[in-house]
Structure 1
């Protein structure tokens, strides 16, 4: 690991001496400056690893140099040696306050110079190795986290498909309603991280249907009151399947599974919640899910025209649906049409 040693002294004789001595140190490239201003300009562009600076110089002097140097990005921990007269105790104290790491006394002894500079170089190498190690660890943690997230996504997809295979609804429906949900959430000001989770959680809204008997789930005609009561259980069943998961996405999916059949006026199920007592994510998914169900063909019905489905949402805002969610959905109508075009039934 080669280090950049910056040496600053307005005496050309001293600068030459320091350079010759420093070049004896293995793995060090010496950058000498007669002007502290020029040295600062170089440090703004280059990477200084160790600095040796004389106190007595034209402005900026050694103390002013340290103050400016420590404010440069990445220079707060760089080892810095100040060269001073032994009797300047007040200067040394102020230099320590400004960020000096060590001192050399005038006249400078060459053996002491080499020993102190070597020590500062060893310190800098340790700093850089530690920083490299921290960066490597951060990268490894990021890789491991990405792997966990990928496995979590695979689990989520499997859960969504489990419900899909038991239901006449198509995979395209799941994709459309998930993207409709994100569209509404974005219009309502949800944070990007929450929108990303919503895209993954929304497809599991009907996972509880894995517990619904086929005779009811796949019945082509209208359900009897008794059958409808059994069908309604899928909301609570989906919540029970998902609620104990530690994953934030699955926890969000549990809330959605339980709440997406609640209605704004309190006439929904399973809890009969009303208005703002219904979790916002459930209110969002309710609009997305119903709109796509209305506009998609099923074995027991034809797809509604878009205009008719839009009118249904408008008429039921404040009854079935949260009016804000309906307004947000319709305000982005061009995006709605783009999602429908992108995720078509096969």
Structure 2
């Protein structure tokens, strides 16, 4: 399902949603800062506004992003562009089969001068962590990200170290069918707020890319347009976006439908419910709305839910993917009636 801006869409008006009110200073400020970040990223990523918007949504929803696609379509470029657009600490990790968990979290080393063990922080101690080709590392190494992605902390040798907000993991991965890859375990996939695929650019965007990228990398010219403090303030604004009882019930109905669907052997978790609501808040805030509408949930359902679900063997034989099942559920699950 396409992810795009809709504002006061005809669907919303038909449902009798409240008219769009004048945004407060918080939403106005969010729109300005988010617009600068989006513009900076789109100066590097040609013809992918939906992917850029979703990446920004995940950042403001305090989540993590998984970018999955074939090599060479700009997965790492998107991750780097978003990271460089914000003036904060950024670390990149190239996942390989010989990477160890301590290479990510850090290690306690003995300091001979002090005669005690000293903790050497790993690359996970950054505001934005870019994990390139995460599924080329072993499952043991992949699991090193489980605690930090969920609890924003790292435990090494019995000592817990907090991670400074904002904290976001942006990971890229090649399709599982490719040689030398390890499927991400369910617990790992469930910690990613959303999964997107870049896809091939259309011919006009690819032609423009030859001009922009042909001489030098636009990443070299990209300068930060926001600060980590700005992102923290925007996250506070997003937390204040209202989610009505009807919309919350709609989310529950959608999630519950995945748990009883005959084509799914694993439905969405309670974590998926929370992250769908948080992402919908950020999505609404980007439209300068202080309330969530069902359209927000529908636009985000596939990228937020599909990677968490497992289809049955029969569905796989029929060529049915989890994305198809979620899209069907979005069409089938009743939307809250106006004024209910």
TM-score, scaled relative to structure 2: 0.24
TM-score, scaled relative to structure 1: 0.24
Q: Which has the higher helix share?
A: 1
Q: Which has the higher strand share?
A: 2
